[in-house]
Structure 1
Amino acid sequence: MASALAAAGHRDAISNWTVGNQVAFRTQSGEEVSGCVFAFDRQTNLLVIKENGSHSGVSNLRLVKATSVREVLSSVQPEKPFDLELPHVDLERCRKREEKALQQAEMESARVGHGVTKEAQAIFDALVKTMPCVWRNKVIVVLDSVYVEEPYTPDTCRSDNEHAATRERVKMVLRLERERLGL
């Protein structure tokens, strides 16, 4: 009898995952999810929910294991048949977004010193907020003309005489940032 009830409960749960249903449910971790059932694979118990995106015309697809659903809060069948046609994907726009994301990742990666201390990275992060900086090995290069070497104090700033004013500005900013960071 118990197994018959469990089987009936399983069938009822699967009926919630009919493509096109508007559902709201709570996961095992307590997160509430709502959207339209976009797909459901019975073999893997994988559920795809189409959620509204951050702005008009954009949707998010969320993959959820149906077994991670703790409670179905609502499940409403659509009044008209669900449109199974996939939305148009602008490949050129996707390529540009990917290119922009890769450029951003490269830029962020260049801002991470390799083999430097946490304090050195904190000094770099503080300096880069006020002036362009890059890492060259373990040396911070500011404005392509001032070199700040370990231990990254005003005394370790160097530049040629042509950039003495820039060096003095970097020393002052470095001194203030080190004080602010408690170094």
Structure 2
Amino acid sequence: MADASKRNSAAGKIATPRTGSAPPAPPMLDTLEALSKAIGARIKLTTTAPHLQTLEGSLFTACTITNLVAVNTRTGSVNAANQPGDYHIVPVSRIQSFQITSLAGDGAQSITTAQPSIGPVDTKRLREREETRIRKLKEEDDNRGKGVSKEAQEIYDSLRRVNVPIRWHNAEMIVHDSVIITPPYRPEDCRSSKDKATTLTRVKQILEGERRKLKERESATAPRKGG
């Protein structure tokens, strides 16, 4: 009975997010302290923007030295220690909110002494996911125009969506490595060498069509005047 009282008391000290509107990010030290008492528990954790995501799984660790937490989102038996986990490393400073959905253990241990089942880490999968994420971030950065207008980026993105090989060179768009589109990115702003006349004509047609689609979407979403 005494053990149950201690467990309930400890569980009551764990911070949980408020319902309703998006809660403010909890102080980092308070978050880390609360999570360090919940090792092994099932938690639901939401990170901050711009890479907003929600992770749900068992809390593997909360390190007070590196200010990092590890969440194992791999489903299955908590006692299957011989199965690899799917671990996500999250800086405490990026935690927007978290909620403990269930305590660790089988009821015979308190939340402050609970230990997670430790299984082998699938390092190959972690490396692949890291490499994929790095490639995606690099691709996003390469395809984001530097110092260009919102309209210019929309035109660029629309051409990419129809599988037109395109890249930025300062404020110019390079298509098929042979056609240059200069601001303000109209069909008449396209140029190429004489031997690429066929490609130039095709790019102009595609550009004209995509600009027309953008204007149609813009007109459809614009608020109507009057009643």
Does the TM-score normalized on the shorter chain lie above 0.5?
yes
Report the Cα distance in structure 1 between the residues aligned to 2:158 and 2:117, rounded to whole angstroms. Answer: 51
TM-score, normalised to structure 2's length? 0.54
Partner residue of 1:13?
Answer: 12
Deviations 1:77-118 (A, max 9, x none): 32799565353342x554443333222222221111111111
Matches within 5 A, 1:62-141: 74-75=102-103, 77-78=105-106, 84-90=117-123, 92-130=124-162, 131-141=164-174
Report the Cα distance in structure 1 between the residues aligned to 2:71 and 2:45, rounded to whole angstroms. Answer: 16
Q: CA deviation at 1:177?
A: 1.0
Larger RCO (CA under 8 A, 6+ residues apart): 2
Q: CA deviation at 1:36?
A: 3.8
Which amino acid counterpart does residue 13 of structure 1 have in structure 2?
Answer: G
Identity within the alignment, %: 30
1:178 lines up with 2:199 in the alignment: no
Give the conservation status (yes or no) of the 8 Å contact 1:51–1:62.
Answer: no
Do the aligned partners of residues 94 and 24 (structure 1) sit closer, same or farther apart at CA in structure 2, a change above 3 Å counting? closer
Give the conservation status (yes or no) of the 8 Å contact 2:60–2:70.
Answer: yes
Deviations 1:132-154 (A, max 9, x none): 00111111110001111111111
Whose radius of gyration is greater, 1 or 2? 1
Do the aligned partners of residues 126 and 104 (structure 1) sit closer, same or farther apart at CA in structure 2, a change above 3 Å counting? same
Q: CA deviation at 1:178?
A: 1.1
Any idea what SS the aligned residue of 1:178 has? helix
Gaps in structure 1 of 5+ consecutive residues = 1-6
Q: CA deviation at 1:162?
A: 1.0
Report the Cα distance in structure 1 between the residues aligned to 2:182 and 2:137, rounded to whole angstroms. Answer: 25
Give the conservation status (yes or no) of the 8 Å contact 2:42–2:56.
Answer: yes
Gaps in structure 2 of 5+ consecutive residues = 1-5, 15-36, 47-53, 77-83, 109-113, 219-227
